[in-house]
Amino acid sequence: MNGRVPTDGGILYDGNDAEDDDDLIEVPEGASAVPAIEWAENRNEVEGLKGAELIQAFVKRLPNGPGVYRMFNEDGDVLYVGKARSLKKRVGNYAQGRGHSNRISRMIRETANMEFVTTRTEIEALLLEANLIKRLRPRFNVLLRDDKSFPYILVTGDSRAPALYKHRGARSRKGDYFGPFASAGAVGRTINSLQRAFLLRTCTDSVFETRTRPCLLHQIKRCSAPCTGEISNDGYAELVSEAKDFLSGKSQAVKATIATAMGEASENLDFERAALYRDRLAALSHVQSHQGINPSGVEEADVFAIHHEGGTSCIQVFFFRTGQNWGNRAYFPKADPSLSTAEVLSAFLAQFYDDKPCPRQILLCEAVEEQELLGQALSEKSGYKVSIQVPQRGEKKDLVDHALANAREAHGRKLAETASQSRLLDGFAETFKLERTPRRIEIYDNSHIMGTNAVGGMVVAGPEGFVKGQYRKFNIKSTDITPGDDFGMMREVMTRRFSRLLKEEGKPDRTAEITEDAAFPAWPDVILIDGGQGQMTAVRAILKELDVEDCVTAIGVAKGVDRDAGRERFFALGRDSFTLPPRDPVLYFIQRLRDEAHRFAIGSHRARRKKEMVKNPLDEIAGIGPTRKRALLTHFGTAKAVSRAGMNDLMAVNGISEAVARLVYEHFHEDAAK
């Protein structure tokens, strides 16, 4: 033990040498280190021990209370995080040396250190375990690999005319949140239909406050234009109320109200108004048609089903809120093939709700380990009772069966994609005469316009396809590079990339055996460069300068004659440039990799260019904050007018003193500053 775990809740470091805020993890109040001071004083008891002997030495001093334990290898990497009702009994099982699976036996043999945190209850231990697993990603735990936040629909509550937005992240803004939705696309489609149904604004508050006439959305009947008073405040509030009711599950009541209003308008021969109500009803029907199953007896629930085959698992999750289906998502957790589906699903659920709101009901395809404890933990965390059930009949059973069918289908598609990717990587290795099949390929490309806003892009591919969490962009910073010098830009990108790799990871050991459960490597086996011999010369010079030329294989991909796809020429060390047959699957694979790098680099360049275009010259003046900038723009209208203003004109602006006026004036008039 190192004694850095807090003795009364708070913060836990995630590594032996953590020094920054990125390495901190919250610990439940009441958690404490065990026993930090004693172990520091009796360190000789565990010095030189490893595996079962080390674990047995720790067991002697562990309490019988609940807590969380972590197992480390010789390099300080976390191997496993577990929780226990009794730390002494649970950890003691590892030291017995019998009845363990191959996975557990291997983990015990690699254990070179352990750390412990006690908690007041087993529920706290379960929550802390899930938090640590998600943060530390230990090799021997079940890992939730796709952990993107879910999108919501937000109806704001801090404006006189509430807006309808897509929201992702912390729910800090005042308003009503509806969801979660399975994807951003589902939110976009729903908002699009809700605009037609309820005519709520989707513009930003700044645009709303400055409009002087209705925008195009009002003209195409997507907004009621509260910004210019085309609808009264009471009328708009009624539309907002109807939208909230619809999103809250009262869709039938809302549709009935609109249908009644349509009938009354028709009877009064107000056919234009009746047509508006008709279009709104059609839009509402469109929303529900995209939601698939809408169960009548399930108000709020998440449905989980797991399918295991071929050593991998797929967990399908369906989201039901306010009686409506808000989509589904498939997950492929990383887990040892020897684990049962119940064990995988149990570990998955604890991690899944670590940072997400939990519904009042969770439906499962099968019972999981410690199901009752998990329900108590989620109830305590949520502040309301959470029920975990395995339905046996009726509508809920139909929902679970539907989720299970989707899990089987998604699992089949994933296996097919993985097998195809594996064959392509094997073919890639054979084509370029590599010693072994690459596990990580990095593809680089640059994007700029006449040298301006230059950006280098790096995309990553592996056995399971593109690894988007590993993508990186490099804003070209060097002032010595001639605008448009692609060779110079690539040199900067390579230097920054591999200098950092050396600093953080050191040189890779290419002779080490790769196990099935090995983590995705940080070092690339192959780098693909979008360019010909000139680019490759620049890249190899950098690799040689950094002394990593033997650590990675560099391959250049030059565009074909007349830039035709299919006629690319490849440049690899030790052989003449060559082309591949037009219908070679490896050629298509490389084209796909290059196109992804091109897409990412262009997107990064456009984002940087857009940021530069909207940049205000006043932002560059030290001492001019938002308030003074607003005052100057309000007085002069534009930044260009501010640049032309004289000292007296600047001093006439409210809040601008003589010193500040001189600062602004000298910024735009270099001669005045001399």
Q: How confident is the model at residue 304 (pLDDT cuts 50, 70, 90)?
A: very high
pLDDT of amino acid 20: 41
Percent of the chain that is helix, strand, coil (3-state, to 5): 45, 20, 35
The conformation of residue 509, written as its DSSP 8-state character, comes to: -
Contact 499, 546 (CB under 8 A): yes
Residue 28 has pLDDT above 60, yes or no: no
pLDDT of amino acid 316: 92
Residue 124 has pLDDT above 60, yes or no: yes
377-411 in b/e form (b: 16+ CB < 10 A) is: bbbebeeeebebeebeeeebeebbebbbebbeebb
Residue 39 has pLDDT above 70, yes or no: no
The conformation of residue 521, written as its DSSP 8-state character, comes to: P
Dist. CA 598–CA 557, nearest whole Å: 12
CA 97, 101, 106 angle in degrees (round to 5)? 70
Copy the structure tokens of residue 16: 């032996």
19 versus 572: the higher-pLDDT residue is 572
Q: How confident is the model at residue 524 (pLDDT cuts 50, 70, 90)?
A: very high
SS3 24: strand
CATH code, 301-413: 3.30.420
Q: What integer is the mean pLDDT of 644-652?
A: 86
CA atoms within 13 A on the CB side of 388: 22
Which residues have CB under 8 Å from 8's CB, separation 6+? 29, 30, 31, 32
Residue 650 has pLDDT above 60, yes or no: yes
SS3 468: helix
Total-model pTM: 0.65
Which residues have CB under 8 Å from 660's CB, separation 6+? 623, 624, 628, 650
Residue 440 has pLDDT above 80, yes or no: yes
510 versus 28: the higher-pLDDT residue is 510
Q: Which of 673, 670, 666, 664 is nearest to 625 (CA)?
A: 664
Dist. CA 319–CA 273, nearest whole Å: 36
Contact 69, 91 (CB under 8 A): yes
How do the domains of the chain map onto residue ranges? 10-136, 151-289, 301-413, 441-510+519-612, 617-673
Q: What integer is the mean pLDDT of 148-168?
A: 86
Q: Which of 217, 195, 216 is nearest to 279 (CA)?
A: 195
Domain 441-510+519-612 listed as CATH 3.30.2350.10 = no
pLDDT digits (tens, 9 = 90+) for 599-634: 888 888 777 777 665 566 777 777 787 788 888 888
CA atoms within 13 A on the CB side of 96: 10
Q: How confident is the model at residue 43 (pLDDT cuts 50, 70, 90)?
A: low
Measured CA to CA in angstroms, residue 273 lies from 264, 269, 277, 278 at distances of 10, 9, 7, 9
| Percent share of the chain, pLDDT over 90 | 11
Q: Which CATH number fits domain 10-136: 3.40.50.720, 3.40.920.10, 3.40.1440.10, 3.40.630.30?
A: 3.40.1440.10
Copy the structure tokens of residue 150: 């879910």
Residue 32 has pLDDT above 50, yes or no: no
Q: Which CATH number fits domain 617-673: 1.10.150.20, 2.40.30.10, 1.20.1070.10, 1.20.1440.20?
A: 1.10.150.20
Copy the structure tokens of residue 242: 């109807």
Q: How confident is the model at residue 17 (pLDDT cuts 50, 70, 90)?
A: very low
Q: What integer is the mean pLDDT of 397-414?
A: 89
SS3 339: coil
pLDDT of amino acid 363: 93
Going by DSSP bridges, is the β-strand pair 452-462/472-475 parallel, antiparallel, or unpaired? antiparallel
Copy the structure tokens of residue 633: 């723009």
Fold agreement (301-413, 441-510+519-612):
yes
pLDDT digits (tens, 9 = 90+) for 257-294: 778 878 877 777 877 777 777 777 776 666 555 455 55
Residue 3 has pLDDT above 70, yes or no: no
pLDDT of amino acid 506: 86
